[in-house]
Amino acid sequence: MTDLTEQQQKSIEDYLEGRIQGEDLLRVEKWLEENPSGRDYLQFLKKLKDLSPSASLVVPPAHLVDKIMDRVPVSRRQMTAPFPWVKPGLALACMVLALFAGLRWFHSFRTSSLDISFILNAPGARQVELAGDFTGWKKISLKQDERRWKVRIPVSTGKDYQYAFILNGRVLVMDPANDSVVRDKHGDFYSVLRLPGRQTRESIGMKQTAFLKPMGIILTSFLSLCSVSSAFADTVVSPEFQEKFKSEVHEAVLSPGEARKVLEQANRLASKGVPEATLEDVLHQSLVLGKASAAEKALNRLDLLVSQGLASEDAGKVSIKEIREEVKAIEKTQPEDEEMEKSLEKGLANLPAAGTQALTQDQLEKKLELKQREWEEQMEQEKEIRYIQHEASERAP
């Protein structure tokens, strides 16, 4: 039954339906005479056509009409929508509610303030204060909690803030846990707190969880310490040395940048053939002083002595001795109240060298006043800019 092509079948169907005329008609008729299977298909189609008139209607089941009419809600039809405005009204109300909720949510990101904990590890200090843009450069006291000094204050987001700690009322010190530093136009270093606006709390390294939120700065300082370990990526020194170095860095509270610098130097010396034990000694002795600059100096001295032909062990001893003497000399040049000096030394033991300045009371007050004025000027400028922008947007069509 399948010896006809689809095209042939279609032609036969068209022939039967009277859709073929003229020369084509003759050709199809001639083809049909020659092909018995074509004739068979034509017969089949004709039979199908003949069958159809004989198809009679089957009587539907009784009461079908009644069943249909029972289910048609004719009498209730007018009642289906008594209050046509109810649905759109409800939808509108929902939309307005959703809009308000959305705006509130969005607003909470734009203008929210975060509670930030400022923590300084200075067990020897008598008094630790905090001053910054967010306090208008007025001093805020930190509370001592065993070794640490802490304060938690709300800071509104959307700005970068400069700040510094003040030790014993006259030593300006940067936040050792904060890696971002700025040098102002007077050449002084300050830590920078970046709180971008319109962003989630995650973007500044804080989880949105209520439990973690107050841990803000602790978390960031932890993260910055973690980044020290990334500095070990391409080193020559052994893993044991690295481990020891990490703990030294942790105790001396170096910033990641300083740690990296010191390690790079140690690496260079190790590649020159200086034994790790010597390096360890030098670093340990100089880092106990709590100053990255001391370590750097010691390593530089070591480098010089080794290149001058001295045996590396002797060179190590010499450089340690020198660095100790140097530090002592610095301490002697600043003879002040002895008790205060002692406590300061203890407090400073954990602080980075750069950005730590011992000042007199007057100098400090003047500095803070200067910063306060600068901050006020900056705010004034921002206000002006905002006003100009506002005016421009009003003038625009």
Spatial CB neighbours of 265, under 8 Å, sequence gap ≥ 6: 296, 299, 300, 303
C-alpha angle 132/138/144, rounded to 5°?
Answer: 80
Q: What is the CA radius of gyration of the chain?
A: 44
Of 41-49, 221-229, 246-254, 279-287: span binding other proteins (CB under 8 A)? 41-49
Chain-centre distance of CA 330, in angstroms? 42
Structure tokens at 147: 């070794």
Closer to other proteins by Cβ: residue 4 or 114: 4
Closer to other proteins by Cβ: residue 7 or 230: 7
Q: Does position 44 bind other proteins by CB under 8 A?
A: yes
- Distance CA(119)–CA(142), nearest Å, equals 8
- DSSP letter at 248? H
Of 27-35, 65-73, 82-90, 99-107: span binding other proteins (CB under 8 A)? 65-73
* Contacts (CB under 8 A) with other proteins, residues 230-259: none
Interface residue with other proteins, options 25, 31, 35, 45 (CB under 8 A): 45
Best CA proximity match to 164, nearest among 362, 345, 371: 371
- Give Cα separations from 176 to 122, 170, 224 (angstroms): 11, 18, 10
Interface residue with other proteins, options 39, 67, 342, 366 (CB under 8 A): 67
Structure tokens at 53: 């008139």
Q: Does position 5 bind other proteins by CB under 8 A?
A: no
Closer to other proteins by Cβ: residue 14 or 303: 14
Closer to other proteins by Cβ: residue 87 or 383: 87
Q: At closest approach, how far in Å is the CB of 81 from other proteins? A: 13
Of 58-66, 132-140, 324-332, 336-344: span binding other proteins (CB under 8 A)? 58-66
45-62: b (≥16 Cβ within 10 Å) or e = beeeeeeeeeeeeeeeee
Structure tokens at 133: 């843009």
Q: Does position 74 bind other proteins by CB under 8 A?
A: yes
Q: Does position 71 bind other proteins by CB under 8 A?
A: yes
Interface residue with other proteins, options 21, 34, 52, 88 (CB under 8 A): 52
201-240: b (≥16 Cβ within 10 Å) or e = beebebeeeeeebebbbbbbbeebbeebeebbeebebeee
Q: Does position 39 bind other proteins by CB under 8 A?
A: no
- Residue 30: Cβ within 10 Å count: 10
- Distance CA(303)–CA(279), nearest Å, equals 11
Of 69-77, 208-216, 252-260, 347-355: span binding other proteins (CB under 8 A)? 69-77
Size of the site for other proteins (CB under 8 A): 39
Interface residue with other proteins, options 47, 104, 185, 395 (CB under 8 A): 47
Q: Does position 2 bind other proteins by CB under 8 A?
A: yes
Q: At closest approach, how far in Å is the CB of 2 from other proteins? A: 6
Q: At closest approach, how far in Å is the CB of 59 from other proteins? A: 6
Q: Does position 65 bind other proteins by CB under 8 A?
A: yes
Closer to other proteins by Cβ: residue 44 or 222: 44
Q: Which residues pair with 113 in a beta bridge?
A: 156
Q: Does position 296 bind other proteins by CB under 8 A?
A: no
Q: Does position 55 bind other proteins by CB under 8 A?
A: yes
